[in-house]
Copies of this chain bind each other. A is one copy, B any other.
């Protein structure tokens, strides 16, 4: 990969860095973790638990916090700063535009845009996109190839839709939202009335609203509401292949890892964190800052700050203790096999 940066570029991007040691190189060849970095690479101490790897890293340039006590090897440059993670993020954002140059701010010649659509300044509409009637796209947004923006859909400013995203009619995407490839926003909710032996369709007439700074992973699906809206709160980050049912409300700043399933009408307060493959039965409320372990099965309301695991879900420490004891069941049963009627 081409992750080259000259030392001058680095100094310009993180001007607060204090240097220690020196490298004969004029540019770095790549970025890597402390352990895997080779001569020519830049590395970083983002988390103090990896401190012991700094002394032996082969990286030519290392971003470090001020309080790191070691010294550089020969031909190694330390760049000390308050927050090396932020410094690294700054370098990466600069590189991102090189590795993935922004799409041209035009409508691709193969795209189809309904005349009634309003396309903001600086917007890129990719190849084979369909932009329906009365759609609005805010300034500087990028719509990847093969996207579908249904009638009356609204996309905010500076959004990025990767290829093959489907925004169905009347759904709203606020500013700076990132939708990975294959995301479906506004699929029909899963709801039926039992009439004799027939499951009769319940029309879903509502929409989906995705608030600012949300990111959604590839092939994730979010169903539209029955009457009003399914809503994902500001800054929430959703991973790949997640299912979010109709009428769900997700608060701000939540983290929802891959393959989680959230049934209809569930409500999350802010800052909920859910591990991969966990599932939620319908109509539950999950309190602020609750943490749910991967693969947990949640069938009751969750209190704010709770940390649950397992199915049925239990407080994390209790679940761990029970797991340990289950492993001792063979021993316990053996004892009682020898003592068939304890007295």
Instruction: Give the bracket for the number of chain A residues in contact with chain B.
Output: 35 or more
Query: So how many copies of this chain end up in the complex?
Result: 3
Asked whether any CB of chain B lies closer than 8 Å to the CB of A95, the reply is yes
- Note all chain B residues with C-beta closer than 8 A to A312: 323
A328 touches B339 (CB 8 A): no
Which A residues, 206 to 234, have Cβ-Cβ distances below 8 Å to chain B?
Answer: 206-207, 215, 217-219, 221, 223, 227-229
Mask, A235-272, CB within 8 Å of B = 1, is 10101110101000000010101110101000000010
Binds B, one of A6-14, A64-72, A185-193: A185-193
- Note all chain B residues with C-beta closer than 8 A to A146: 128, 130, 146, 148, 164, 166
A151 to chain B, nearest CB (A): 8
* Given A221-B219, A333-B332, A336-B332: A227 touches B294 (CB 8 Å cut-off): no
Task: Give 6 nearest A-B pairs by CB, closest first.
Answer: A187-B218, A218-B221, A148-B163, A243-B258, A184-B218, A92-B203
Q: List 6 A-B contacts (CB under 8 A).
A: A1-B206, A3-B227, A218-B223, A221-B241, A336-B342, A342-B342
A interface residue numbers (CB < 8 A to B):
1, 3, 30-33, 36, 85-86, 89, 92-93, 95-96, 99-101, 108-110, 112, 126-128, 130, 144-146, 148, 150-151, 162-164, 166, 168-170, 178, 180-182, 184, 187-188, 190, 192-193, 195, 197-203, 205-207, 215, 217-219, 221, 223, 227-229, 235, 237, 239-241, 243, 245, 253, 255, 257-259, 261, 263, 271, 276-277, 279, 281, 294-295, 297, 299, 310-312, 314, 318, 321-323, 325-330, 332-333, 335-336, 339, 341-343
